[in-house]
């Protein structure tokens, strides 16, 4: 099945459901006109459909390999990445001063979704580079910016993020990598990092690693960590790749999915690096990269959902099996249970995409205006976009396999790849459990102000809607009460119910977006009605789970 980029759906969301029309009204994004956005999305669609998608299966069947210390990427990947670099897609939101396009994160999120649908394994490389560009723009000194940013933006170099160590996964503060100062102002970095996505490859002339490490006077825990840029090849006086740094690729992980993406174990052996930002402030600098990366990962989940749904619909329209009892369809798309699965896939995917792009618009508006309300809105939506987006990717891809039936379990159809590829997304950039705890922890420290502001928007949509609006109103009221319970409860009580709370919030937002869509296009009413009738009732149970507390969890015994 050939992927088709959903540019029409993206434009509809931006124009009629979200606040994207406010972006060109700001000084920062005044040039981001609808015509420009159309042109960008159209060109990205051509790249994704014509270049990235054709080598997706090759990446799955012929993984990246490490031979004699050299990583060889999957067939077609180098050529596809060259097309990404030539189009300037790595620097789409980067500062024009260094060669970037300066476009909103909203546009980048649309492009990233398309690239991830077409080829998730390959798209991870420019996504990480985008994150590094942002971190360097905010925290690096002018000398580092001048050397690294033009090369990263052009795609001549690529970027990575190095946090995880064998003993330090989500607990980054437990890392042991050391940084010793040198006389020339650089540092010697020593330690081992694991799970480094695109940690080594043969597609670009240099790789820039952002590495968390501890200075000799760094305190234990996360507050004693600093951030360093450590290149694979040390730039010479002209900024060109010079001698090889002492960074060694120990191995590549054999993974469940994203086989075309080399996930490396890297050993830094007195490797030369330069500090980014202030001493002992590495986590703050790295989080600049990670926050928008979380939105990017959420859109990867949306991307896998979209691609899996397209494949499932195509198969259901072609497969003849049994005799449907209603309608004129001769294929399995006429069967009620198949339609049930496809309807759920469509509603979840539409909801996840709307949440992700709403988050992106909020980030852009916060950047453009400095308004604290936009900033709070973006911060609250980020964990929802990441967690619900990636959960949706897995659920929809799983349903896609089911629609295919036995053929879905056969690798030949390609349905299984979407599920295998999607499964990592709820784990990296902070597991979805951590996202949910962040949501009920730090994101409710304002007493629930940001949450209630969003629910106020939902209530206004419900008031303007038809009979479905009453059901949305009831779900939003229930979620408001649960939010008040969260704000009043102790931390671990909140954490115990964080995941169902986040999902309940996402489903309520889904009803909000889908009913707003109907106001602009009545042909969208059936999907909105399905969501309200079939998915919103889940909010009742989810809110009950969210308020369940810890007693039942800690009463359980798990025998050794």
* Rounded CA separation 312/310 (Å): 6
- With cut-offs at 50, 70 and 90, classify the pLDDT of residue 284: confident
Quick one: which of 381, 397, 312, 349 has its CA closest to 514? 349
Residues 6+ apart with CB under 8 A from 36: none
* Rounded CA separation 316/159 (Å): 40
Q: Per-residue pLDDT for 169 more than 80?
A: no
174 in Cβ contact with 168 (< 8 Å): yes
pLDDT in tens, 403-461: 999 999 999 999 999 999 999 999 988 899 999 999 999 999 999 999 999 999 999 99
Helix (H, G, I), strand (E, B) or coil at 189: strand
233 in Cβ contact with 206 (< 8 Å): yes
The active-site residue, picked from 412, 429, 481, 522, is 429
Residues 6+ apart with CB under 8 A from 50: none
pLDDT (0 to 100) of residue 28 = 97
DSSP helix, strand, coil percent of the chain (3-state; round to 5): 60, 15, 25
Please spell the DSSP secondary structure of 480-494, one letter per residue: HHHHHHHHHS-HHHH
309 in Cβ contact with 341 (< 8 Å): no
Q: Per-residue pLDDT for 224 more than 70?
A: yes
Q: What is the mean pLDDT of residues 276-294?
A: 85
pLDDT in tens, 66-121: 998 889 999 999 999 999 999 999 999 999 999 999 999 999 999 999 999 999 99
Write the class of the CATH domain 158-284. Answer: mainly beta
H or E stretch covering 543? helix 538-546
* Rounded CA separation 260/435 (Å): 27
Give the residue extent of every domain in the chain: 7-153, 158-284, 298-555
Q: Is 523 exposed, middle or buried (0-12, 13-18, 19+ CB in 10 A)?
A: exposed
Instruction: Tell me which CATH code domain 7-153 carries.
Output: 1.10.540.10
Q: Which fold has domain 298-555?
A: Butyryl-CoA Dehydrogenase, subunit A; domain 3 (1.20.140)
Instruction: Return the structure tokens found at 380.
Output: 């609250």
Instruction: Return the structure tokens found at 310.
Output: 């397209």
Let me know how long the chain is.
Answer: 560
Q: Per-residue pLDDT for 325 more than 90?
A: no
pLDDT (0 to 100) of residue 288 = 75
* Rounded CA separation 546/439 (Å): 13
Instruction: Return the structure tokens found at 174.
Output: 């437990």
pLDDT (0 to 100) of residue 324 = 87
Known catalytic residue: 165?
A: no
Quick one: which of 236, 230, 233, 234 has its CA closest to 268? 230
* Rounded CA separation 500/147 (Å): 46
Q: What mean pLDDT value characterizes the chain?
A: 95
508 in Cβ contact with 472 (< 8 Å): yes
- With cut-offs at 50, 70 and 90, classify the pLDDT of residue 2: confident
Task: Record the pTM.
Answer: 0.96
């Amino acid at each position: 099945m050939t992927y088709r980029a959903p540019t029409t759906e993206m434009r509809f969301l931006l124009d009629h459901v979200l606040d994207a029309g406010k972006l060109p009204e700001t000084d920062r994004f005044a040039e981001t006109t609808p015509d420009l956005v159309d042109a960008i999305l159209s060109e990205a669609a051509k790249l994704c459909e014509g270049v990235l998608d054709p080598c997706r299966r090759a990446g799955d069947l012929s993984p990246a390999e490490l031979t004699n210390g050299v990583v060889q990427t999957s067939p077609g990947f180098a050529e596809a990445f060259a097309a990404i670099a030539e189009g300037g897609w790595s620097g789409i939101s980067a500062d024009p001063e260094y060669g970037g396009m300066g476009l909103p994160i909203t546009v980048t999120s649309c492009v990233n979704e398309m690239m991830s649908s077409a080829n998730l394994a390959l798209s991870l490389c420019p996504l990480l580079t985008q994150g590094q560009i942002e971190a360097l723009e905010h925290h690096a000194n002018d000398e580092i910016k001048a050397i690294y940013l033009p090369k990263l933006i052009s795609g001549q170099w690529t970027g990575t993020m190095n946090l995880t160590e064998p003993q330090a996964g989500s607990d980054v503060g437990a890392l042991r990598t050391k940084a010793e100062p040198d006389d020339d102002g650089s540092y010697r970095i020593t330690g081992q990092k694991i799970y480094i996505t695109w940690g080594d490859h043969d597609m670009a002339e240099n790789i820039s690693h952002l590495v968390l490490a501890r200075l000799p006077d760094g305190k234990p825990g996360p507050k004693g960590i600093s951030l360093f840029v450590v290149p694979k090849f040390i730039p010479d006086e002209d900024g060109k790749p010079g001698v090889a740094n002492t960074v060694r690729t120990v191995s590549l992980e054999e993974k469940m999915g994203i086989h075309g993406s080399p996930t490396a174990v890297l050993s830094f052996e007195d490797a030369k690096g330069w500090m980014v930002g202030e001493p002992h402030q590495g986590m703050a600098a790295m989080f600049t990269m990670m926050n928008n990366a979380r939105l990017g990962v959420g859109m990867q989940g949306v991307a896998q959902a979209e691609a899996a749904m397209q494949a499932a619909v195509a198969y259901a329209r072609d497969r003849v099996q049994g005799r449907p009892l209603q309608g004129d369809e001769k294929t399995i798309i006429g069967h009620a249970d198949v339609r049930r699965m496809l309807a759920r896939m469509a509603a979840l995917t539409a909801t996840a995409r709307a949440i992700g792009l709403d988050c992106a618009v909020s980030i852009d508006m916060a950047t453009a205006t400095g308004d604290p309300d936009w900033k709070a809105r973006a911060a609250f939506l980020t964990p929802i976009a990441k967690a619900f987006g990636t959960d949706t990717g897995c659920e929809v891809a799983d349903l896609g396999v089911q629609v295919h039936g036995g053929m879905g379990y056969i690798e030949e159809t390609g349905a299984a790849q979407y599920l295998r590829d999607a499964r990592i997304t709820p784990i990296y950039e902070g597991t979805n459990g951590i996202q949910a705890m962040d949501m009920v922890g730090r994101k409710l420290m304002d007493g629930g102000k940001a949450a209630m502001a969003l629910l106020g928007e939902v209530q206004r949509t419900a008031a303007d809607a038809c009979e479905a609006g009453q059901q949305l109103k009831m779900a939003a009221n229930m979620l408001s009460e649960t939010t008040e319970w969260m704000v009043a409860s102790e931390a671990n009580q909140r954490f115990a119910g964080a995941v169902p709370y986040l999902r309940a919030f996402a489903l309520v937002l889904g009803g909000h977006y889908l009913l707003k869509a109907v106001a602009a296009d009545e042909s969208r009413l059936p999907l909105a009605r399905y969501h309200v009738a079939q998915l919103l009732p889940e909010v009742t149970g989810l809110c009950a789970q969210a308020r369940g507390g810890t007693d039942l969890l800690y009463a359980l015994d798990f025998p050794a």
